[in-house]
Amino acid sequence: MSAGTGDAARAASVRTRTGARLRGVAGALLVALALGAWALAGGASQGGASAPAAAPAHRAAARVNVAAQRAALRRALALVSYRGRLGYRIVLAPPRLGVRAETNAGTRTITIFLDPPDAPHRVAHDIAHELGHAWDARHLDDAGRRAYLRARGVARAAWWPRTVGADYATGAGDFAEVFARCHAASPEFRSRLAPPPADACAALPERARGTG
């Protein structure tokens, strides 16, 4: 995730996913939509089957202006440099307490629980973090993941979350955070596994460093 400080990490909402879901479909990903087209080609749709229901306390916030969400998404996408074709589309959902974004590798969707007033760089970081998971599922194998953990100085760390919830203390979450640090114009870094690298792009596999 983003933000290099404990305060920023605490402020960041938890993304929900399981490692098993990503592992099970890692080999089935297809090349499809480019990131630059998502905001126009159906990616800025409201809701979606994978979007969880809003908590009762946040029902008022769930009545979000769809046009404002789409405008906020476009502003955030302008801050994301990665344009690789990973086969995912962005789905917008109402703000959800405790969750900023999630990736579903089975449906190849990235759901952003977007509150339009949120800072564009934070939304950009959320998008780039989820793109990091998509890149991981598409390109990394077990050997590549072990090599990444060794380079980060946490060779014994688990890659996948063992429970549904935050992934910031796992290899998968750290990789997504480093990916986001490389590809989003955002100062945030939310990983709890290792400190932010001096050069985030250099910490990634070579194929993940470019804009796609």
Distance CA 199, CA 90 (A): 28
Residues 31-47 have a mean pLDDT of 31
pLDDT higher than threshold 60 for residue 1: no
Largest CA distance in the chain: 46
Kind of pairing between the strands at 109-113 and 45-46: unpaired
What DSSP element (H or E) covers 45? Answer: strand 45-46
Radius of gyration of the chain (CA): 16
Residues 103-127 have a mean pLDDT of 96
Amino acid at 203: A
Residues 159-163 have a mean pLDDT of 91
Q: What is the pLDDT of residues 52-86, one digit of tens each?
A: 333 333 444 457 899 999 999 999 999 999 988 79
| CB environment 85-121: b (16+ within 10 A), e (fewer) | ebbbbbbbbbbbeebbbbbbbeebbbbbbbbbebebb
Share of the chain above pLDDT 90, in %: 63
Is 26 within 8 Å of 145 (Cβ atoms)?
no
Is 70 within 8 Å of 22 (Cβ atoms)?
no
Is 21 within 8 Å of 104 (Cβ atoms)?
yes
Distance CA 21, CA 161 (A): 11
Of 119-123, 164-168, 174-178, the poorest mean pLDDT is in 164-168
Which residues, in sequence order, are bridge partners of residue 47?
none
Q: What is the pLDDT of residues 19-37, one digit of tens each?
A: 333 333 222 222 222 333 3
Give, in order, the Cα–Cα distances in Å from 131 to each of 102, 111, 117, 159, 206.
Answer: 10, 11, 22, 17, 16
Q: Which of left, alpha, beta for 200 (phi over 0: left; psi -120 to 50: alpha)?
A: alpha
